[in-house]
Amino acid sequence: MPAIRLVAAGAAGALAAALLTATATPVSARPSLAAAPDIPVANVKAHLSQLQSIATANGGNRAHGRTGYRASVDYVKAKLDAAGYTTTLQQFTSGGATGWNLIADWPGGDTNHVIMAGSHLDSVTAGPGINDNGSGSAAVLETALAVARENLQPTKHLRFGWWGAEELGLIGSKAYVNSLSTADRGRIDGYLNFDMIASPNPGYFVYDDDTALEKVFKDWFAAKGIATEIETEGDGRSDHAPFKNAGVPVGGLFSGADYIKTASQAQKWGGTSGQAFDRCYHSSCDTSSNINDTALDNNTDAIANAIWTLSTATAPPPGTVFENTADVTVPDAGAAVESPVTVSGISGNAPAALAVGVDIRHTWRGDLVVDLVAPDGTAYRLKNSSSNDSADNVIATYTVNASAEIANGTWKLRVRDVAAQDTGYINSWKLTF
Ligand code: DTR
Ligand code: ZN
Ligand code: ZN
Ligand code: CA
């Protein structure tokens, strides 16, 4: 029987937060660092069936301030406690009603580097909210249970969250982020949000916020041969917004709501063009039958892959090289050209002595001006032109103090030929961290 500890937190503004923490002994089994397991979609659907039953037994919904919401929280919490998680109920009030966030920590991992996944557990009052957002909640729950089944021993600490009162304006997730100290926010290396991931006429949308998080999802879908689009419905529309506003890198997946699927989207994803991704969005028909099993299956497996990848990845060893060997012609006495290199997996800022290896083939190197451009657009001059330097080629390593720049992102080598005659091309270039 887990020990229950009541920790009353001081009232914080309009939201009084009280923490209930249940600590259970994690299951013991062989540790795993392998690739993510395939998550059985039947398990996810079983959670959706439970959430449907809960709504049916509680006035037809699971909305904030209604009995169906707390029943949903109790269901998810019981599964996590039994699996060995340390769960915490964070209480808040909104609109005169009590709400709860459910936070679950997987024991272990570096708590200075947290990977977090979350979804809102509340529905609108109009219906049971099985796609919005039972789908995200069930997928995150089953992923967390898979972590326990596999007894994953991640490098980074894993935390999961189920938010209350999202439908009233991201109330629960805002309460959670506001309750964190600046230091604790800085310990979250990434927050992954899943709100509507099994729409009956599904699309495959990836949040285009943090490039490294986006890449994990896009690479997984690409390997499965599933086309994706970036999620463009607006940053503020789900629980990743409070994290993003607090400077936490965010990512996530979305299968579409009330917007209409276009003909080209139906071409790539199937389904029905000219029809909403989810015709039952915020309606009473958002029930267990309002789910596309294939989208639920794919997105849940993508979530598991992201959790395994992001929490077990260790920082690349020093001396990690990011290189572009594609030839880029430099127009004679013309406009500058650029060659990109995308850096990922490097936490924090770039080094004060960033090595920039350059290999440009040219018959009069004095024509050339060469810059390193950081992901935020800042240019660092590597080489100026000089009228009397007639030697061939620029093959050199420059050292740049890039400590003011975030390491991850797309860096560019910018080259311009400023004098007529003599021509050349970028043969390759690289960054060494
Ligand atoms: N606001 C969410 C549904 C939603 C609409 N657009 C997006 C974009 C990204 C995530 C979620 C959504 C809700 O009704 O819960
Ligand atoms: Zn909604
Ligand atoms: Zn939602
Ligand atoms: Ca020239």
What are the tens digits of pLDDT across the range 256-277? 999 999 999 999 999 999 999 9
Residue 166 known to be catalytic: yes
The residue nearest atom 1 of ligand 1, judged by CA position, is 237
* Ligand 1 site, residue 233, Cβ cutoff 6 A: yes
Q: According to the CATH classification, is domain 321-432 in 3.30.70.20? A: no
According to DSSP, residue 367 is labeled G
- The pLDDT-based confidence of 6 (bands split at 50, 70, 90) is very low
Question: Per-residue pLDDT for 235 more than 90?
Answer: no
> From the CB of 238, is ligand 1 less than 6 Å away?
yes
For residue 330, the model assigns a pLDDT of: 98
pLDDT for 15 beyond 90: no
* 237 CA closest ligand 1 atom index: 1
Q: Given this model, what pLDDT does residue 317 score?
A: 59
**Is 70 exceeded by the pLDDT of residue 376?**
yes
CATH topology of domain 28-311: Aminopeptidase (3.40.630)
pLDDT at 229: 97
Of 259, 299, 250, which is closest to residue 277 (Cα–Cα)? 259
Task: Please give the average per-residue pLDDT across 401-430, as a whole number.
Answer: 95
- Here the tokens at position 178 are 């506001």
pTM over 0.75: no
Q: Which of 171, 228, 233 to mutate to test the pocket of ligand 1 (most atoms within 8 A of CB)?
A: 233
- Domain ranges in the chain are 28-311, 321-432
Q: Which atom of ligand 1 is nearest to the CA of 257?
A: 5
The minimum-distance atom of ligand 1 relative to the CA of 120 is 15
Q: Which two tokens stand for residue 7?
A: 């920790």
Pocket of ligand 1, candidates 167, 171, 205, 238: which has the most ligand atoms within 8 Å of its Cβ, to mutate?
238
Ligand nearest the Cα atom of residue 369: 4
Answer yes or no: is the C-beta of 231 below 6 A from any ligand 1 atom: yes
Q: Per-residue pLDDT tens for 287-322?
A: 999 999 999 999 999 999 999 999 997 655 567 899
pLDDT digits (tens, 9 = 90+) for 163-205: 999 999 999 999 999 999 999 999 999 999 999 999 999 999 9
What mean pLDDT comes out for the span 315-342? 90
